[in-house]
A and B are shown apart, each in its own frame.
Chain A
Amino acid sequence: MRAVLRNRRILIAGGFLILVVVLSVGWRLFTPYGYQDQVAVPLSGDGLLGGDDFGRDVFTRLLVGIRTSLLVAAGSVLLAAVAGVTLGMVAGYTRRAATVIMRAVDVLLSFPAIILAIAVVAVLGPSVRNVLLVIGVIYIPRFARIAYGQTLTVTRSDYVAAAQAMGSGPVRTLTRVVLPNIGGPLLVQAALSLSFAIQTETGLSFLGLGAQPPLSSLGTMVAAGRDFLEVRPSLLVVPALVVVAIVLAIHVLTDGLRDALDPRQGSPS
């Protein structure tokens, strides 16, 4: 734990992300406008970042957009982690169900996520909730695989044998003994999935399949900004750079976590 806090990359990236989360979740504190309010002249420069084509405050919509993207990403990773880890641990522990579960999971694993998302969103209808669900389901296999592999290793260890000898039932063993030991790689996978989840959500919103107007997402803002490239390029460039910055911070954080938690892996840099 101390290693985590001492790593400079984790501190900077983590700090930036905390700032972003605070700004976006508490957006109402940082702006007097609602994200639907038409407060400015369309495409003007009034306000912090100007007005969009409907005359809404871009800064407000940016904060709300970040919030949307982060919520969907975090929610979907949580869903994937909980479901995937459970599946993987069960598969690793009870060897029989393993092959069936892992094979079924294999199909999803190789399939291009966004194509699956398009097809599923077509059924469920475009909305942030459905995008969250889809991305969550798509990432279950990744967590399941890691949990499965790690559980296999750990269950062969002495800890588990000892626990079982003392009469510990399967659930107990899994949660008390196995889970804490596989935490490291899972955390890294979670961080990695978070960055992909943001990219997928913004991509789907860009295509019009995610956040529906008037709700903004970083993806919808970039898509809308394309129409006004010559009049007000900032409408596109600002949300685009924000996405890059957030994903970048998450990657740096991931690298730092990897180093701190498992010094043999990764690389000094």
Chain B
Amino acid sequence: MTRFLLRRTGLAVFQLFVIGTLVFLLVRLIPGDPARAALGETADAEQLAHARALMRLNEPVAEQYAGFWARLLHGDLGTSLISGRAVLADLPIRLGNTLELVLLALAVALAAGIPLGRAAALRAGRRTDHAVTGGSILGLSAPVFVIATLLLLLFSVYWPVLPQQRYVTLWDDPLAHLRLLVLPVLTLAIGATAVITRMTRAAMLETASADFVRTARATGIAERLVVRRHILRNSLVPVVNAAGVELATLIGGTVLVETVFGWPGLSSYLINAVSTRDYPVIQAVVLAAAVLVIAVNLAADVAGRLIDPRAEAV
């Protein structure tokens, strides 16, 4: 296990280094510069030159690159060229807001999807199964922004039980915050539930026909126990697999949810930064997303090995 951890951590560091370098180069390829974005259209050439100097955009690239990593290793994520605020002041909060949506959606998806998939698998071929499968394929097919917009239309316009409110944090007004969460989490959860449902169903069906299950049945163990002890547990691995992949998909999905519902998360932070060419923020956000995904994968692999050491690893 230790060797595995060391190897994977080393790999993770390497991956992060690659991504960091790619992002550094990427943002400097973006046309237009932050000085322009900060000063607007009325600024003349002289003012722009001054702003660029203040933003240290004229330093040689190699120096900027070295400085980027040096600051990063000291925990300095840089300062926004546009707002003047330290990225470290804002990034964790925005990241947290996004994670709030993602984790809640995943939790809902697992809480709803596993039982649904189980029910469908146990009654394979019958009406329940058809209903669940049909519903999940529909849930998979609706793009996130369609679900978001239609839910908004339904619950804010036609049947205003959840009218559009301004954002408040959990600390300020827990009840209002929870109400705010409903639509964005629901939006994300629909697709995720569909995936989990399908995966659970498929995995259970596959396991159910496996040899060791037939043996268990043959030895007279009660069906209920067979399901619980053998089928469900062995199906867990691919389901958990799917959950991990879903996490990355969900993080991507928040881009659209944050736009439609005005949720101050990581994606809106990124989109703002891109539209103003705020290099430090863009770099930090992409790196943060990469760290998140790599960390989740790593931790998940570890967890997976703990659950079932016999499971294959690549």
A residues sitting closer than 8 Å to B (CB atoms) are 103-104, 106-107, 110-115, 118-120, 122-123, 125, 195, 198-199, 202-203, 206-207, 219, 222-223, 226, 229-230, 233, 236-237, 240, 243-244, 247-248, 250-252, 255, 265-269
Contact = CB atoms under 8 A, between A and B. Distances in A.
A115 B289 contact: yes
A145 to B, nearest CB: 9
A245 to B, nearest CB: 8
B248 A112 contact: yes
A240 B255 contact: no
A236 B149 contact: yes
Nearest to A205: B145
11 contacts: A111-B293, A115-B289, A122-B30, A122-B274, A199-B144, A202-B143, A206-B256, A240-B146, A243-B143, A265-B206, A269-B133
B248 A110 contact: yes
A207 B255 contact: yes
A257 to B, nearest CB: 14
Contact of B157 (A119, A230, A250, A265): A230
Contact of B249 (A112, A119, A267): A112
A43 to B, nearest CB: 17
Counting chain B CB atoms within 10 Å of each CB, the highest count among A112, A195, A244 belongs to A112
Nearest to B32: A122
Interface string B102-131: 000000000000000000000011000110
B141 to A, nearest CB: 4
Interface string B259-301: 1000000010011001000000010001001100110010000
Contacts of B271: 118, 207
Chain A interface, >50% SS class = helix
Given A202-B143, A230-B157, 15 more contacts: A104-B18, A107-B19, A111-B19, A114-B256, A115-B251, A115-B286, A123-B26, A123-B27, A195-B140, A199-B144, A229-B157, A240-B150, A244-B143, A251-B140, A267-B202
Contacts of A195: 140-141
Contact of B11 (A103, A119, A198): A103
Contacts of B255: 114-115, 118, 203, 207
B135 to A, nearest CB: 12
A136 B206 CA distance: 32
